Structure 1
Amino acid sequence: MKIGNISIGNDKPLAVMAGPCAMESLDHALFMAEHLKNLSVKFNIPLIYKSSFDKANRTSAHADRGIGLEHAMTIFDRIKADFELPVMTDIHLPEQCVQVAPHIDVIQIPAFLCRQTDLLAAAAATDCAINIKKGQFLAPWDMKNVV
């Protein structure tokens, strides 16, 4: 399969998904993307830039959650344009899929949400690749039901 300019498959080089856990600012995101891109080129490793606009699964309701979807979409566009990197982010609500899909290449479903049918269906309705993280509460053989 193709994700941006990267070919993914058993017969292809291993691709790395990396980036800051939570997107903090435009400057921080561009700084990280530039350094990750340089490492990707130096070591000839395909890279997908990953960062979250909203960390909705924090332990405390008062913890910082990130910069939000509206601000993040323009940052994702800049990373794709400036560094020619495919972009991945996680989503938490079905309506976020259609909003963010034009700005990214991969939708990631967080582990705690891997059984949320409406969320999975909304992600599948986009043109994005989907990375579903397996929840620890789920047996490995039950992931076939998620897919």
Structure 2
Amino acid sequence: MHIVNVGPYKVGPGQPMLLFAGPCVLEGYEHSLAIGQEVKRICEKLGMPYVFKASYDKANRSSHTSFRGPGLEEGLKQLAGIKKELGVPVISDVHETIQVEKAAEVLDVMQIPAFLCRQTDLVCAIAKTGRCVNVKKGQFLAPWDMKNVIAKIEAAGNQNILLTERGSSFGYNTLVTDMRGLAIMRELGYPVVMDATHSVQIPGGQGTSSGGQSQYVPHMARAAAAIGIDALFLEVHDDPSKALSDGPNMVRLDRLEALLKDVLAIDRITRK
């Protein structure tokens, strides 16, 4: 099993569980920073390594009228500011090869969205930056098929890889999570991440945007910790009902600490 570098942190066997958390999309610098500050405070209290996450551009929204974020230039500027202010690594989605070079100047972790995990040019371009690559398993892929994605990244000279579970398509507008997938992907030799918020998403479930069942996020997170994961991915917001993207599957910021306490307690048992 590889030990992966995420900024100053080590991720993998024997290392503390890492948290990726923040709003789905940057909704303004001050607001995003405030969320990051509170998550960092909680993580420091619990002794949990923290990486700030937010998208500078959500290129895969259901509707062309949906909020996408500030875009590449302004978004990376905001992420760079948040990174400096919080003193933590940052992660964001990269959707096109043309974005890779500029994104790599700011991001500590380059994230490949689930829909794009088989886009060879994008995967290889991101891998060649040498940055840590977090690949979200496509909703259409079996967990063992991620070996082919790994092979593309390794062929580009990069072994700094994380694999993320975020549910599989199950009929129309429905996702289910096969928890075996976490163990199967870990057997491929790289740390695994559980995306407990997107796993309860209802894609396109509100007609022009996705719905979600946020009440099940704690169940998904606790179950994943019981199986054994290396990192947890959560989208959090101070008021999910007003979030500009993915509000229905987000964790309320004031409920985050209690959830993480449960997850870490289970993690300690699992590691024994």
TM-score (structure 2 length as normaliser): 0.53
The CA distance in 2 between the partners of 1:24 and 1:70, in whole Å, is: 15
Look up the match of 1:69: 72
Q: Mapping of 1:28-47 within 5 angstroms?
A: 28-47=31-50
Residue 76 of structure 2 aligns with an amino acid whose one-letter code is M
CA contact (8 A) 1:92 1:110 kept: yes
Bigger share in strand: 2
Aligned-pair CA distance for 1:126: 0.7
Look up the match of 1:115: 118
Look up the match of 2:135: 132
CA offset digits 1:84-112 (Å, max 9, x no partner) = 11000001001111111111100110100
Identity percentage of aligned residues: 45
Q: Mapping of 1:77-88 within 5 angstroms?
A: 77-88=80-91
CA contact (8 A) 2:69 2:75 kept: no
Residue 2 of structure 1 aligns with an amino acid whose one-letter code is N
Matched residue pairs, number? 147
Look up the match of 1:15: 18
Greater Cα radius of gyration, structure 1 or 2: 2
What's the secondary structure of 1:103's corresponding residue?
coil
Unaligned runs of at least 5 residues, structure 1: none
Aligned-pair CA distance for 1:4: 1.3
1:101 equivalent in alignment to 2:108: no
1:24 pairs with 14, 27, 32, which one?
27
Look up the match of 1:89: 92
Residue 33 of structure 2 aligns with an amino acid whose one-letter code is L
Unaligned runs of at least 5 residues, structure 2: 151-272
Aligned-pair CA distance for 1:59: 0.8
Aligned-pair CA distance for 1:64: 1.1
The CA distance in 2 between the partners of 1:63 and 1:34, in whole Å, is: 27
Aligned-pair CA distance for 1:127: 2.5
Backbone CA RMSD of aligned residues: 0.9
The CA distance in 2 between the partners of 1:127 and 1:72, in whole Å, is: 21
CA contact (8 A) 1:95 1:122 kept: no
Look up the match of 2:7: 4
1:49 equivalent in alignment to 2:47: no
The CA distance in 1 between the partners of 2:137 and 2:5, in whole Å, is: 22
Which stretch of the first structure deviates more once superposed, 34-43 or 71-80?
71-80
User: Stretches of 4+ moved more than 6 A in 1?
Assistant: none
Look up the match of 2:233: none
Residue 52 of structure 2 aligns with an amino acid whose one-letter code is Y
